[in-house]
Amino acid sequence: MHPEQNEIQPARGPYETFSLRRSNVISSSDSEHVFPPAQIQKGVAIKRGSGVLMLLLLFFLVDPSLVLSASIDPPPQKSDSLGDSLRHSEGKEIHIFYIHGIGSDGHNDYDSLALRSSICAYLKDCTSPAGTPIGQWDYADQNQFRPDATIPELEYMDEPVWKSADEWRAAAPYAIHFQLTRTNGQNLYVDELNWWPLTFSLKCRQIIASDASFVAPSKARIETCSRREPNLAVPQRFKSYDWITPEEAARMVHLPSNGARANRALKTGLMDWGFSDAVLALGPLRPYVLDGIRQLILKSQADSRAAGVSDPTRQPVDQEFIIVCHSLGSYLIFSALDANQTTLKMTTVQQSGNRFDQVLERTSMVFFFANQLRLLELASLDGPTDRNFATHVESWGKLRCDYLKSKPGAAQGCRPPRITALNDPSDLLTWTVPNLPGVEVENYTVKNSTRWFWIIENPTKAHNKYARDKRAIREMLQSHSAANK
């Protein structure tokens, strides 16, 4: 476990002003709630943890009482905002699944750090600023991901994707589990699910290496692709792998730049490193990505149970789940969780029984940042199938409703679970989430004042919301809170 996972890193980004606006909400009201803009200071940041600022705003700003359900005469219920769920868990053990999106920079991304530190800043009673890791990195290790498993026979232009047992072991998805211990409330768990290792062989060798001579060398990507770091705490596993040899990397970084500056920045950053993930997720790599995520979800369910194995007095836990995901992660997580008839042939699904259904029925809210659902669903026009996103969320809505109605004293009706999507119209790879069967959908428009040339010069961040330091978050929350007193 790197110490940096629990440290704040220096920010790299411009000052920016933004506003948060809800749009296209499934509701009987046409009103929109516009929140006051605020000047955000340049401060402490982590790449792509930026969506967390918006997440923190939801603690105060997303008041479910303002949004009427699409269901008919839903029963009255208390507010179930994210902030309320974390502050008032009512004895439930809350797990937050955090799934990254396209363009991960590997184990140095620290995707969940801003989320964890922001939650602790909001709650004000964590015993550590960003929680503490539970155990070692938890790799997918069943079925085709066993350390001694046969290398998959996938090829790219007649060349094997993984050429050795070490390479295949280096491609295994992994989870890092964190416990946020509190002095005045129920402990929380954040499970960071990392599927990016499966894509690095193809992206590094076939895309980044090729464009180094054709367009321009991307020094940051070449460095990421050429660093080998075994995970000393987990035998036969890696934190990073040299898909490009150090010798070849040293040659590449000195190649001349051929493409126009703006074009090559977009090509090597957004397309080569980011959008290629989306293409891979729709192709033959998809079953491996989904099975890896499924294995990590099953491991994450047992986080706290494992911590209490030696305590015979510990009572069985009542778990609730919240999902926070970026871009492509929004598309993948529901495909992994919806273990329907079309996926029963998968060994992980067969062995898990109804544990995936248990996660879905106990998940009340999901947050999307920079999603590409409208674009990705263009590849899924065959009606209700395991590739159709609407099929997955409809299953979620039914399972959640049946679960709520099964509880003692429950009303006949139930409020659908909620998807909250935060969408930046200046983002090159963000679309709104359409109305979906069986769930509430809330689209919020996030308008940034980031200058266009800064986006072009920093294309890998063009699809992200920028992380802010905790001081800026507190100021933002206090400002809004004061305005509403």
Residue bearing the bigger pLDDT, 87 or 331:
331
What are 123-144's pLDDT values in tens digits? 889 999 999 999 999 999 999 9
Torsion of CA 447, 449, 451, 457, to 10 degrees: -60
Rounded-to-integer distance, Cα 406 and Cα 444, Å: 32
Beta bridge partners of 17: 39
Confidence of residue 339 (pLDDT cuts 50, 70, 90): low
What are 249-278's pLDDT values in tens digits? 999 999 999 988 888 888 888 899 998 999
- Cβ burial of 52 (10 Å; 0-12, 13-18, 19+) is buried
Determine phi and psi for 247, rounding to 5 degrees. Answer: -65, -45
pLDDT at 422: 80
Confidence of residue 426 (pLDDT cuts 50, 70, 90): confident
Cα separations (Å) of 432 from 46, 100, 420, 425?
25, 18, 10, 9
> Would you say residue 458 has pLDDT above 60?
no
pLDDT at 118: 82
Name the average pLDDT for the chain. 75
Rounded to two decimals, the pTM is: 0.78
Confidence of residue 480 (pLDDT cuts 50, 70, 90): very low
What are 139-198's pLDDT values in tens digits? 999 999 999 999 999 999 999 999 999 999 999 999 999 999 999 988 999 999 999 999
